Structure 1
Amino acid sequence: MTDVTADQVTAIAAGYDEDPANSMSLRADAYTEPKWYAIDQQAIFARTWQWICHVEKLTQPGSYVAATVAGMPVVVVRDRRGGLRAFYNVCKHRAHELLSGSGTTRTIVCPYHAWTYDLGGSLVGARQTDRMETFDKTEICLDQVQVEEFCGFVYVNLDPTATPLAEQAPDLAADITRRAPDIADLTHAKRLYYEVETNWKNVIDNFLECYHCHVAHKEFVSLVDMETYDVKTHGIWSSHFADAGTSENTAYDVSDATVTEHAVWWLWPNTCLLRYPGRGNFMVFQVWPDGPGRTLETWDFFLESTELNEAEEQSVQYIDEVLQVQDIDLVESVQRGMGTPAFNQGRIIYDPERAPGLSEHGVHHFHGLVLDAYRALAGDQSPS
């Protein structure tokens, strides 16, 4: 565990102002120093709701998905009664990981010594223990993790005291289902994967503002009507909406689009939910820290069919070969710049009345949540 003091949080927050019109960004050390990477894992990722998968992967009793959250192995399973369960994916015997990937199983069997657990996490079998008078398998159970089904997706939270996601983000599910009413009927069609040489917060900063779009994303601004681009913040989430896909553009073919809106919901801290112009679709862009200057990214595409039509192939190609290439170049350059003595922090650009799509109040909102998380951790570590 990495200790953090209130004085250290005050220092890293220097320059940040609750009023975005008067605020600077987070200081560069928060993006470059190993100490703050470790604090991010403890203060943020170990205490927030993390997206795991679409509920379609966990429909049958015994279906499971293994994942890693804040460096911790976890597994989500559907039990015999139809409920969702999540556990640390760790055997209580010698700590071997129990399940990998995804699939279906009748019981959870450790591949090391074959200790066997039922789908509720209780130990039901342990080889060579039947004559051990002091061994009581009824006392042994996998450690549970909070799990929640939210708007057609499955999330987990390592914090046993965390309030439900639906309470933390009121109105988010209603907003998503209003704009994407077909979300439950979509199916996973494709995943893209990226390794990026930058801090994860740089990726989120870049995602949460379109001040750079006219400069760096010529194709995107031909797809989206930037005059209608609107960014709003809502507690632990923010939204980006704009009319889109209504005319010929340089990104991809939208001539047969039934979705004519660019819709984005960012959920604190690292889950980005999107709906682009085209046939019925929903995307999840997830951002995982993998070191002070390294990030892993996944794009999951949920479409009407696992078979992409020509326009969908074009849209995926646009995201993979154009948009992502542009954004990765940007955030990797930012990381290099933050490692120099020439940069400490920059001014937040704030103009939501005249140009809400170009204002950086979404970035400022994110930075406030980061600093709140740091303060909460420092408070928890203070001597009582």
Structure 2
Amino acid sequence: MSREELVSMTRNLVSHGAADTMEYADEVVRIPASSYTDPDTFELEKRNIFRRLPLMVAPSCELPEPGDYKAMDICGVPLLLARQRDGSIGAFLNMCTHRGNPVVSGTGNATRFTCGYHGWTFKSDGSLLGVASPKDFGPVDKATLCLKRFPAYESAGLIWATLDPDSQLDIADYLCGYDDLLSAFGFDGWTLFSQRTLPGPNWKTAYDGYLDFYHLPILHKDTFGADFYNRANFFAWGPHQRLSTPSKFAIKVQGDDDQQMDLEAMNDADLPQDVLVQGVWTIFPHISIASFYGGGQRGAMISQLFPGDTVGESTTTQYYVMENQPETDEQVASAREQFDFLEVVVRDEDYATGKRQHEALQSGMLDHVLFGKNERGGQQFHQWVEKLTHASDAQLQDIFAGEQREAAE
């Protein structure tokens, strides 16, 4: 983790805040409205983005102990995550190699998984342990009938998997060093307080909101307040980005008190770590991370977005992770209050608006939508969606090898 890079970004924000300026994109960008509503485009995105690129599938604190597992479905692919005995993470196709029935559902802790259809049993490392009634079934080579393994990677307290067992795209390369900066949050030592899943609009409509500060004092005037900031500077590592408010001030929560700090007057060495990671951090194509305070301590909401069954649907799992587990009833109530507040903001304001927006776009009466010079994050997101959706497998490797070379220069 490069504190120097975080400090440099903070000084950029302070400088622009002091001058009452922000960084702009070169021009206003037009995006075809059909990119949100066309079912064929939607299916292509599911196949070439969500079933081909690395996805952040869980915070590490959701599977903290050896034997912990989680089964989930992503764009029609049944995924099983299992914490191994040595502490590493395994990602498998959750399908019995006998007839394809999922071997487990939900979450829990187990050293083996037994298929509920015919009783074939697998170890948590995916190897086939036993076949029911082996004399009757006939000879099998167990070594060739293990659960299919997906590429997996764990860094900065987050877990990634690629839903293509033959993928040649290295997950670390794909992240472009972004995980080194995400490690500044310290998630690998945090705890999962709560989680829930919300229905949303088209996945890109929903994701646009995480990349957009422009709407904050308008759409969220009754929750965040009408005087809330609407500017954001943009920082990028390949398709992954951070958006943060250009300001020379920051609010640091000390217990029940909010303390305003003048960052311009502070030395680099005195800048608090939580100030250095303020803003919204997004992991392409579907993750948003934002810091909050609840229960008198640091927390963050990690929003994990996936396309739904149809072009106008998506689901978002909100993970509320905390630096420490709340201990007193008061701390628990405070953390719950913060998490519930964020549900209202996303469900009743962001996603309710997104659903109305999507319904209107489906009329076909608008050819394009616009992203202004102050909406650079959204511009970059849609450009990367278009680029990666239409790239071949070989081109994907070249794209991210190029990003690595550029970052090293």
State whether residues 52 and 154 of structure 1, in contact with CA within 8 Å, keep that contact through their aligned partners in structure 2.
yes
What RMSD in Å do the two structures reach over aligned CA positions?
2.8
Task: Say which SS state the counterpart of residue 336 (structure 1) adopts.
Answer: helix
For structure 2, list consecutive stretches of 5 or more residues without a partner in the other structure.
Answer: 1-24, 260-271, 396-409
Q: Which of these residues, 177, 187, 194, is aligned with residue 191 of structure 2?
A: 187
Equivalent residue pairs, number? 345
Residue 245 of structure 1 contacts residue 277 of structure 1 at CA under 8 Å; is this kept in 2? no
Is residue 193 of structure 2 the alignment partner of residue 170 of structure 1?
no
Change over 3 Å in CA distance of 1:230–1:92 after alignment to 2: same
Runs of 5+ unmatched residues, structure 1: 1-18, 351-358
Aligned counterparts of 1:247 and 1:141: Cα–Cα separation in 2: 51
Equivalent residue for 2:289, pick from 257, 273, 279: 273
Matched residues in 1 for 2:98 and 2:338: separation?
A: 48
Matches within 5 A, 1:219-258: 219-220=223-224, 229-242=232-245, 246=251, 255=257
| Distance in 1 separating the partners of 2:236 and 2:206 | 18
The answer to whether the Cα contact below 8 Å between 2:217 and 2:230 also exists between their aligned partners in 1 is no
CA distance in 1, matches of 2:94, 2:356: 37
CA contact (8 A) 1:230 1:240 kept: yes
Give me the TM-score of the superposition, normalised by structure 2: 0.76
State the one-letter code of the partner of 1:70: C
Post-superposition CA distance 1:219-244 (Å, at most 9, x none): 435685556x4222321201012368
Look up the SS of the partner of 1:273 in the other structure: strand
Match of 2:263 in 1: none
Counterparts in 2 of 1:134 and 1:176: CA distance versus 1, 3 Å: closer
Taking the aligned partners of 1:320 and 1:58, their CA distance within structure 2 comes to 23
- Partners of 2:375 and 2:252 lie apart in 1 by 27
Aligned to 2:158: 153
Are positions 1:370 and 2:402 aligned together?
no
Amino acid at match of 2:318: W
Counterpart for residue 302 of structure 1: 321
Cα distance in 1 between the residues matched to 2:355 and 2:40: 20
Identify if the C-alpha distance between structure 1 residues 322 and 368 changes in structure 2 by more than 3 Å, giving closer, same or farther.
Answer: closer
SS in 2 for 1:103: strand
Richer in strand (by share): 2
SS in 1 for 2:207: helix
Task: For 2:156, give the aligned amino acid.
Answer: C
Q: Which residue of 1 aligns with 2:341?
A: 318
2:112 to 87, 102, 107: 107
Question: 1 or 2 for the larger relative contact order (CA 8 Å, sep ≥6)?
Answer: 2
Whole-angstrom distance in 2 between the partners of 1:169 and 1:339: 34
Contact residue 192 and residue 320 of structure 1 kept, 8 A: no
Contact preservation (8 Å) 1:263, 1:276 = no
State the shift of 1:211 in Å.
Answer: 1.6
C-alpha separation between the residues in 2 aligned to 1:309 and 1:64?
Answer: 26
Which structure has more helix as a fraction of its residues?
A: 2
Q: State the TM-score, normalizing by the size of structure 1.
A: 0.81
**Distance in 2 (alpha carbons) for counterparts of 1:326 and 1:42:** 30
**Counterpart amino acid of residue 369 in structure 2:** G
Give the distance between the partners of 2:286 and 2:172, measured in 1 at CA.
17
Counterpart residue number, 2:398:
none
| Aligned match of 1:135 | 140
CA distance in 2, matches of 1:87, 1:323: 32
The alpha-carbon deviation at position 173 of structure 1 amounts to 2.2
1:53 aligns with 2:54: no
1:101-140 deviation digits (Å, cap 9, x = unpaired): 1111121211111101122222121122236664333332
Partner AA of 1:58 in structure 2: L
Q: Pick closer, same or farther for the CA change 1:85–1:310 going to 2, 3 Å.
A: closer
User: Residue 3 of structure 2 aligns with which residue?
Assistant: none
Is 2:202 the counterpart of 1:199? yes
Aligned to 2:49: 44
Task: Give the deviation of 1:368 after TM superposition.
Answer: 0.9
* Structure 1: distance between partners of 2:278 and 2:348: 20
Partner residue of 1:360 out of 360, 365, 375 = 375
Alpha-carbon distance in 1 for matches of 2:349, 2:367: 24
CA distance in 2 between counterparts of 1:57 and 1:320 reads 20
User: 1:322-333 to 2 correspondence within 5 Å?
Assistant: 322-333=345-356
